[in-house]
Structure 1
Amino acid sequence: MCSHYEGVRDAQVLRKVFQVEPPADLGKTDLWPGYPGLLIRRPGEKDAGDDAVPDREALPGLFGLVPHWATILKICRSTYNVRSETVVTKPSFREAWKRAQHCIIPAQAIYEPDWRNGKAIPTCIERSDGLPMGIAGLWSSWRSLQGDWVHSYAMLTTNADTHPLMNQFHKPTDEKRMVVVLPGSVYDEWLVATAERSEQFLVPVAAEGLRVGMCKTL
């Protein structure tokens, strides 16, 4: 699971790697549940057939999905990760999954606790090629009592018990989990995939595609 990651705040990187025009507010760099970050999704106008609309848009959003029925934003502190095995049934996520509200979460790196020496050592993990990760996620929109709209998102995760790298993290007694890191070649496919096709994208990235990085101290 991932509760801490480094966001991408370089506008040029977002344009080049994710092919989106960045919003004015890129959110925080050091992200924890409830913090403002960035999500990439397919614009609704594109689905309506407007060819002038780009295939992807980048929006500010809270890290932690806020379902439409929530009464307070604080729920996002416990809805930042989605288990791919139970996303269909979990009340907080099942509507976004059914509606295929897919997004990509740009991350320069994620941080996981290494417990192999008996203590939680925060460890930076990044792509082996140094490019930002595109993490598979779900997004939602929530309307406050004042009428304000808030976007939010959560990262999809999968089992990592046998993953050569990601099975080294978290407590020895815990199930090993990892976020779904999408290959760049399937970004558009993921954003337009139906709920029925979604599961085929939720696979662990190869170990050689990741490395323990020398990330900056946040």
Structure 2
Amino acid sequence: MGYPDETYPGYAAPLVVKSHRSGRVASGLARFGLVPAWAKDDKISRYTYNARSETAAEKPSYRAAWRQRQFGLVLVDDFYEPSYESGKAVRWRIQLDSGDPFGIACLWDRWQEPDTGAWVVSFSMLTVNADEHPVMRQFHKPGDEKRTPVIIAPHLHDTWLSADTEQATRLLTWSHMPELVAMPAPLIRPSNQRHDLSRSAGAIP
């Protein structure tokens, strides 16, 4: 199965999750932008692609996923943030110094499409403050709080997927993240690369 080169909110990305009952690890495509199980439609996903880790346990969109320990890893090669050092927004690419793919901590949920009954799996990336991060502190508008998605170090992948809420809270920090590098990158507008998310949802328990 081919994945899109770039994923935007509402589009598909590869997600890894683990069943707390059976211990089975599964992967599949999921929508970028969490749609909570209680939502009447999927429009909320426009606003739920990032979840602040400090408040995820309390926010209506995320608290059920948090309490049910629906912790996942979205697999990426890199991600993008705007730099304003030139006075205007310039997109930069952030990746591991090693160049390896990596997993970003996320919350995930299942939502049933009212008209078709199809199940859609979706996720939100978890973020933390990055005011002191050596790379991530340079992004976003001057004066705005700096944030970074939480990259889970490879040796902690299973710990994260299996975590209880206390363990998850301890892992939501950039202190264990691998070293990052950043570089300017031109913007590529999204093409029509929407995958059939209802078909991929069956791969995730």
In the superposition, the TM-score normalised over structure 1's length comes to: 0.80
On the 8 A contact 1:125/1:213 being kept in 2, the answer is: yes
1:113-139 alpha-carbon deviations (Å, 9 max, x no partner) = 000111000000100000012100011
Q: In the alignment, which residue of structure 1 is the partner of 2:148?
A: 178
Unaligned 5+ segments in structure 2 are 189-205
Distance 1:141-1:217 versus aligned 2 partners, 3 A rule: same
Offset at 1:106? Answer: 0.5
Q: Deviations over 1:57-115 (max 9, x none)?
A: 11111000000111111211110001011111110001100111000011100100000
Contact 2:91–2:184 (CA under 8 A) maintained in structure 1:
no
Q: 1:195 aligns with which of 165, 169, 172?
A: 165
Q: Is the 8 A contact 2:153 2:176 kept in 1?
A: no
Candidates 151, 160, 164, aligned match of 2:134: 164
Counterpart amino acid of residue 110 in structure 1: F
Tell me which amino acid in the other structure corresponds to 2:70.
Q
**Which residue in the other structure is 1:28 paired with?**
4
CA contact (8 A) 1:102 1:190 kept: yes
Q: Residue 39 in 1 paired to residue 18 in 2? A: no
Work out the percentage of aligned pairs sharing the same amino acid: 40
Shift of 1:47: 2.2
Higher RCO (C-alpha under 8 Å, 6+ residues apart): 2
Aligned to 1:40, the other structure's residue is in SS state: strand
Deviation at 1:27, TM superposition (A): 4.0
Root mean square deviation of aligned Cα: 1.9
The total of aligned residue pairs comes to 187
Q: Distance in 2 between matches of 1:85 and 1:91?
A: 14
In 2, distance between residues paired with 1:48 and 1:181?
A: 25
Match of 2:42 in 1: 73
- Superposed, 1:136-147 pairs within 5 Å as 136-145=105-114, 146-147=116-117
Give, in whole Å, the separation in 2 of the partners of 1:183 and 1:91: 28
Change beyond 3 A, Cα 1:128–1:205: farther
Partner residue, 1:88: 57
Asked if the contact 1:109–1:215 (Cα under 8 Å) also holds between the matched residues in 2, the reply is no
Deviations 1:7-43 (Å, cap 9, x if unpaired)? xxxxxxxxxxxxxxxxx4x54221111111111001x
Question: CA 1:162/1:109 → structure 2, altered by over 3 Å: closer, same or farther?
Answer: same
Question: Mind listing any 5+ residue stretches in structure 1 that lack a counterpart?
Answer: 1-23, 50-54
* In structure 1, distance between residues paired with 2:186 and 2:141: 24
